[in-house]
């Protein structure tokens, strides 16, 4: 059988084989087969209901499309680059099975609104899957935080020890970031979930399509308002890449910390053997490859975002073939995020947390200097003066090779006669953390509440 292009009517020459190959997107858009068929089933049903094609034809089209889907899933239906993309491959299969009836499917529709529909359906499903993964990861963060509300560790600014916090508090900081990511994902899903069929190629259609019916059948919240926009808009894919870029940024920052904390110098955590790798030459090595790869893959997702932004920036309305390039980028961003979330979750679930080392880290490096200054303020010294006194105290401690807590009362009194025996209690790590009980602070009673609130949020 000689093959003929679905659009071949006005052509007198075959497309060059190299152009077929170049033009074709089936290699990567075949993953939207389910959505393409789901959309066509709804479209055919609507055409039948509205009397645009015979009801029996609509039913046969729907039945055959389901069979084609089963065959694709069973691996017995073949795609062909000659048919260019998933949309024309499915239609070609349909026509090969039911002939002229199949040719009625594309009535009142263009590939331009069809591809917009398929991509929206596909990304909507991905949003739901990613939302689930993200919630699971957030639940694990809360579980881990629950175990460590009393685990004191140094907090840093400029990578210099600053003030003590708890490991739970640190984990909860990431919980907040991921919570915003989850909210953004949900909002993005809302903007994805708008139905573009009926936009046609660009100018709508003269057929009396029932767009609302199709939208309802496919679970869309609304239909697009403008046919030119309906086929030209890829904001939703870009927005998703942007949401995923932020999510990856958060996982990457956390990964960076875990990599640092896994060093011999820090030793705050130890990755489980099952989540580390060795070196082919250095027998002693245990490398945090998983965290490094997550950090590395973040760059890829940023790349996908920039690729899409740059692809779209110069395109006049409406559809332009450049837009076929959207898929690999957004698919890659989604694939990468979906790959990273569960492995990150397992990695933190299985890592060992070295409470003793964290506490030791918090005790060295004058992390309680602010608390000494606050102690003097409570005794009536203006803060600027107490800041200066404690600065001198730190210089003295460095000279003595001591921590502030290790000063004798006499050494304290040399710095300020206002200091009494109660200083030791006031600047202990437990007090430094425990007294920071304002909303948002690291005090165990506060973080316990935050964990409860977090759990309620996850349920809601």
Q: Residue 115 Cβ, how far from ligand ARG at the closest point, in Å?
A: 4
Q: So which residues are the catalytic ones? A: 158, 279
Cβ proximity to ligand ARG, 196 vs 288, nearer residue:
196
Q: Residue 122 Cβ, how far from ligand ARG at the closest point, in Å?
A: 12
The Cα–Cα gap between 148 and 255 comes to: 19
Cβ proximity to ligand ARG, 231 vs 247, nearer residue:
231
Strand partners, 156: 161
The Cα–Cα gap between 423 and 410 comes to: 12
Q: Residue 292 Cβ, how far from ligand ARG at the closest point, in Å?
A: 34
Cβ proximity to ligand ARG, 276 vs 324, nearer residue:
324
Residue given tokens 């979750």 in the structure block = 345
Angle (nearest 5°) at CA 318 between 316 and 321: 85
The Cα–Cα gap between 445 and 214 comes to: 52
Q: Which helix (H) or strand (E) holds 153?
A: strand 152-157
Strand partners, 208: none
Q: Which helix (H) or strand (E) holds 155?
A: strand 152-157
Q: Catalog residues that contact ligand ARG under the rule CB under 6 A.
A: 25, 29, 85, 111-112, 115, 319, 321, 323-324
Angle between helices 444-459 and 167-192 (to 10 degrees): 20
Cα–Cα separations (whole angstroms), residue 55 to 39, 44, 178, 427, 456: 17, 9, 49, 81, 49
Q: Residue 110 Cβ, how far from ligand ARG at the closest point, in Å?
A: 7
Q: Residue 106 Cβ, how far from ligand ARG at the closest point, in Å?
A: 12
- SS3 readout for 403-429: CHHHCCHHHHHHHCCCCCCCHHHHCCH
Cβ proximity to ligand ARG, 112 vs 227, nearer residue:
112
């Amino acid at each position: 059988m000689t093959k003929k292009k679905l659009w071949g009517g006005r052509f007198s020459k075959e497309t060059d084989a190299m152009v077929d190959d170049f033009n074709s997107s089936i290699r990567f858009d075949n993953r939207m087969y389910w959505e393409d068929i789901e959309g066509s089933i709804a479209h055919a049903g609507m055409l039948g209901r509205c009397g645009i094609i015979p009801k029996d034809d609509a039913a046969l089209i729907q039945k055959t499309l389901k069979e084609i889907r089963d065959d694709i899933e069973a691996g017995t239906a073949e795609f062909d680059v000659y048919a260019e993309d998933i949309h024309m491959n499915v239609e070609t299969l349909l026509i090969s099975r039911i002939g002229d009836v199949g040719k009625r499917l594309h009535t009142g529709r263009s590939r331009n609104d069809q591809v917009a529909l398929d991509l929206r359906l596909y990304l909507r499903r991905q949003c739901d899957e990613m939302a689930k993964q993200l919630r699971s990861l957030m639940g694990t963060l809360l579980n881990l935080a629950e175990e460590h509300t009393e685990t004191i560790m140094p907090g840093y600014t400029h990578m210099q020890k600053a003030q003590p916090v708890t490991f739970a508090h640190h984990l909860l900081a990431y919980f907040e970031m991921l919570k915003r990511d989850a909210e953004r994902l949900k909002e993005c899903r809302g903007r994805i979930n708008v139905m573009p069929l009926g936009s046609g190629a660009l100018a709508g259609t003269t057929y009396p399509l029932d767009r609302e019916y199709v939208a309802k059948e496919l679970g869309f919240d609304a239909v697009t308002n403008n046919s030119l926009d309906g086929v030209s808009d890829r904001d939703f894919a870009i927005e998703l890449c942007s949401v995923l870029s932020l999510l990856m940024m958060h996982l990457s920052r956390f990964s960076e910390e875990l990599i640092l904390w896994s060093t011999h110098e820090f030793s705050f955590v130890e990755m489980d053997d099952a989540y580390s790798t060795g070196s082919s030459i250095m027998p002693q090595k245990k490398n945090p490859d998983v965290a490094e790869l997550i950090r590395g893959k973040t760059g890829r997702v940023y790349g996908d975002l920039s690729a899409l932004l740059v692809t779209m920036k110069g395109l006049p309305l409406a559809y332009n073939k450049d837009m076929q390039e959207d898929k690999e980028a957004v698919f890659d961003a989604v694939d990468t995020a979906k790959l990273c979330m569960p492995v990150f979750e397992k990695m933190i679930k299985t890592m060992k947390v070295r409470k003793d080392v964290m506490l030791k880290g918090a005790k060295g490096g004058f992390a309680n200097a602010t608390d000494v200054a606050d102690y003097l303020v409570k005794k009536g010294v203006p803060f600027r003066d107490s800041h200066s006194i404690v600065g001198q105290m730190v210089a003295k401690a460095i000279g003595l090779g001591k921590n502030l807590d290790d000063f004798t009362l006499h050494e304290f009194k040399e710095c300020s006669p206002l200091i009494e025996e109660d200083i030791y209690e006031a600047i202990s790590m437990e007090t430094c953390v425990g007294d920071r009980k304002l909303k948002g602070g690291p005090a165990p009673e506060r973080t316990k509440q935050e964990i409860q609130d977090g759990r309620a949020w996850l349920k809601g």
